[in-house]
């Protein structure tokens, strides 16, 4: 081998070093500010509002299609080229509701024309990340699970935009999607052959969330988050799933604080905010879905003989996995048993979740629990049309809200509520009385039971009640402090949405923004230190059974403690 003489080597060395010193800054400048490296590949996000960075649509699992439909989530396939993560993922398969996702996976007028229509995609297991546009590391992480009765919801909903909260809380905010309805919860023997015990549970949605939490544990450091300080938060169905993660043995060590909102754990009871079917009900619902497909495809002549027809099939799992997702959704809508929620299988979820908490068999982490003062008004109000409490149909209600100008209200309470519930203050049958009775019969017992259960094992449990009802007329009466109306205040997200269109006016901006700041700061304090108290509250937030009331006038926040006997 020819050797390079000393003088030549010296010149070569300094030449190479000079080149590297020139190139290195260029390379540093060329790397996008939002470039991050996960264990599966590089992602490139975008700069967003509130001086934050965002990564939208990061896959945490393979698309659950084909053989992966009704299977445990599989790790994503690695990618070689940088992945642009600057667009929200498609919503998971669902039927359209008043809150979306519409034809364009966003808040727009198509929501009103797609009500009840199959929307979204099965390829939907993605999460979104926001963080402040700083270099700070080891930030607390908020992992948010959306609601929607376990059958609807999507992370592109404007209310869930994490930019303002990430900036205000100096934290990393994660929102996650999970399989919904019959794709997320299905207990059918035909799907259990060759399945793992976890898959056999039928709780695919919960397995999705556990996989997403594992992705966060292993990758959130690349985004400046601490895997040792993760707070899970969910509202409504997301709140139920938060409680279920608290009792699931499979989620141990994946989170360190929890914020379940407007949800409970009572099985087969109380209200729509429990959404936990018995194992028998879940099995019957799955079988009815199968039988109706067999009849529709001519394999069975009628439902009465569908069981025999099913027993004669050699590959029912393949048959169902080959069905079009939209067709399956339409079939489920026509079923008499439409149970679709947590299945207490005894492995992924305890057979009796509330009893598990009573027995201390749950992850004892600091808890911040929230409810609204008029939860029931949303549950009662969404039953639009002839069989419901409000006058318009769903499409008519959407049109009224979509065209509504909160700064120039023209509607009246009589335009929305049926005469049977007017005047609203009438004892027993008035709209406000109906809500009060529903709260007393359903929401308060659900809240009190689960909080009594956890309070026997830990003292770091705080609760709030959201009382804000400063919407312009008629929504201050029709909905008031209804289910879910606290979410924009916690996220600091008042951008256009169905809720913003009817609730947030110029007149109520000073008070609601002050209230939102106080609520976000409490959430930030809880995420950082495990305690929601901070000086801006103006009062001491004591542990349950005392609760903090979050309210506001048009111009300022009104926050005070409420003892149990004052409710």
Residue among 484, 481, 465, 437 nearest 546 (CA): 465
Let me know whether 501 and 404 are in one domain: yes
- Whether residue 413 has a cis bond before it, omega within 30° of 0: no
* 268 and 285 in a common domain: no
For residue 222, how many other CB atoms are within 10 A of its CB? 16
Please give the distance of CA 207 from its chain centroid, rounded to a whole number. 15
Contact, 121 vs 91, CB < 8 A? yes
- Residues 424 and 559 placed together within one structural domain of the fold: yes
- For the chain, the residue count is 567
Q: Is residue 28 part of a domain?
A: no
User: Taking a C-beta distance cutoff of 8 angstroms, is the pair 516, 487 a contact?
Assistant: no
Q: Which residues of the chain have pLDDT under 50?
A: 1-30, 268-273
Task: Let me know if residue 221 belongs to a domain.
Answer: yes
Q: Residue 286's closest CA among 371, 363, 192? A: 192
Q: How far is CA 504 from the centre of its chain?
A: 22
Q: Retrieve residue 207's tokens.
A: 């397995």
- Is residue 145 situated within a structural domain? yes
Measured CA to CA, the distance from residue 298 to residue 538 in angstroms comes to: 68
Instruction: Please give the pLDDT value at position 274.
Output: 55
Residue 294 lies in a domain: yes
418 inside domain: yes
Domain CATH number, residue 54 = 3.40.50.1820
Question: Do 423 and 387 share a structural domain?
Answer: yes
Do 247 and 307 have their domain in common? no
Residue 27 is assigned to a structural domain of this protein? no
Locus of tokens 């947030």: 504
Same-domain check for residues 268 and 283: no
CA distances for 345 relative to 24, 149, 188, 399, 551, angstroms: 56, 19, 12, 42, 40
- What's the total number of domains in the chain? 3
Strand ranges for 177-316 from DSSP E: 225-235, 257-261
Q: What is the pLDDT of residue 72?
A: 97
- DSSP code of residue 189: G
Give the pLDDT score at 265.
87
Q: Are residues 153 and 86 in the same domain?
A: yes
The pairing of strands 367-372 and 172-176 is unpaired
| pLDDT score recorded for residue 566 | 77
CA-CA distances (angstroms) from residue 551 to 515, 539, 555? 7, 14, 11
Instruction: Tell me: do 257 and 142 sit in the same domain.
Output: yes
Instruction: Output the pTM of the full model.
Output: 0.93
Would you say residue 4 lies in a domain? no
The number of beta carbons lying within 10 Å of the beta carbon of residue 456 is 10
Domain that holds residue 296: 279-333
Same domain, 517 and 382: yes
pLDDT confidence of residue 9: 36
C-alpha–C-alpha distance, residues 94 and 180, integer Å: 7
How far apart, in whole angstroms, are the C-alpha atoms of residue 509 and residue 554? Answer: 7
| Co-location of 239 and 328 in the same domain | no
pLDDT at 379: 85
The DSSP code for 407 is: T
């Amino acid at each position: 081998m020819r050797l390079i003489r000393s003088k030549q080597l010296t010149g070569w060395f300094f030449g190479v070093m000079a080149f590297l010193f020139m190139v290195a800054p260029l390379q540093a400048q060329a790397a996008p500010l939002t470039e991050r490296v996960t264990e599966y590949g590089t992602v490139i996000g975008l700069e967003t509002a509130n001086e934050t960075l965002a990564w939208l649509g990061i896959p945490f699992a393979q698309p659950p299609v084909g053989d992966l439909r009704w299977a445990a989530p599989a790790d994503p396939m690695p990618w070689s080229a940088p992945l642009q993560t600057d667009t929200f993922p498609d919503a998971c398969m669902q039927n359209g509701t008043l809150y979306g996702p519409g034809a364009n996976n966003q808040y727009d007028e198509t929501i009103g024309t797609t009500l009840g229509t199959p929307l979204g995609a099965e390829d939907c297991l993605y999460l979104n990340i926001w963080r402040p546009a700083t270099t700070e590391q080891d930030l607390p992480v908020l992992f948010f699970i959306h609601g929607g009765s376990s059958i609807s919801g999507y992370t592109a909903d404007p209310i869930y935009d994490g930019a303002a909260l990430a900036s205000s809380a100096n934290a990393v905010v994660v929102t996650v999607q999970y399989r919904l309805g019959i794709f997320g919860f299905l207990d059918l023997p035909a799907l259990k052959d060759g399945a793992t015990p976890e898959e056999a549970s039928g709780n695919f949605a919960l397995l999705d969330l556990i996989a997403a939490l594992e992705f966060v544990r292993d990758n959130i450091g690349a985004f400046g988050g601490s895997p040792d300080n993760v707070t899970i938060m969910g509202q409504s169905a997301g709140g139920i799933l938060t409680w279920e993660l608290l009792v699931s043995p499979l989620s141990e060590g994946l989170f360190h604080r929890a914020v379940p909102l407007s949800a409970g754990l009572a099985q087969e009871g109380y209200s729509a905010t429990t959404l936990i079917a018995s194992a028998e009900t879940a099995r019957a619902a799955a079988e009815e879905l199968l039988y109706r497909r067999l009849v529709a495809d001519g394999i069975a002549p009628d439902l009465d003989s569908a069981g025999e027809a099913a027993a004669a099939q050699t590959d029912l799992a393949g048959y169902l996995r080959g069905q079009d997702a939209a067709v399956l959704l339409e079939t489920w809508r026509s079923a008499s048993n439409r149970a679709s929620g947590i299945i207490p299988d005894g492995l992924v979820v305890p057979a009796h979740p509330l009893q598990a908490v009573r027995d201390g068999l749950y992850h004892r982490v600091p808890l911040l629990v929230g409810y609204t003062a008029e939860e029931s008004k949303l549950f009662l109000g969404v039953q639009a049309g002839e069989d419901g409490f409000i006058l318009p149909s769903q499409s008519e209600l959407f049109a009224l809200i979509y065209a509504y100008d909160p700064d120039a209200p023209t509607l009246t309470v009589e335009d929305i509520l049926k005469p049977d519930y007017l005047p609203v203050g009438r004892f027993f049958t008035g709209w406000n009385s109906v809500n009060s009775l529903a709260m007393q019969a359903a929401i308060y017992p659900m809240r009190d039971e689960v909080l009594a259960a956890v309070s026997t094992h830990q003292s770091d449990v705080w609760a709030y009640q959201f009382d804000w009802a400063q919407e312009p007329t008629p929504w201050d009466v029709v909905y008031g402090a209804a289910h879910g109306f606290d979410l924009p205040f916690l996220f600091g997200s008042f951008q256009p949405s169905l809720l913003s269109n009817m609730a947030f006016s110029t007149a109520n901006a000073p008070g609601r923004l002050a209230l939102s700041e106080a609520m976000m700061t409490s959430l930030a304090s809880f995420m950082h230190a495990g305690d929601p108290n901070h000086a801006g509250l103006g009062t001491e937030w004591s542990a349950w059974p005392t609760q903090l009331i979050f309210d506001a006038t048009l111009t300022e926040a009104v926050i005070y403690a409420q003892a149990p006997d004052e409710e």
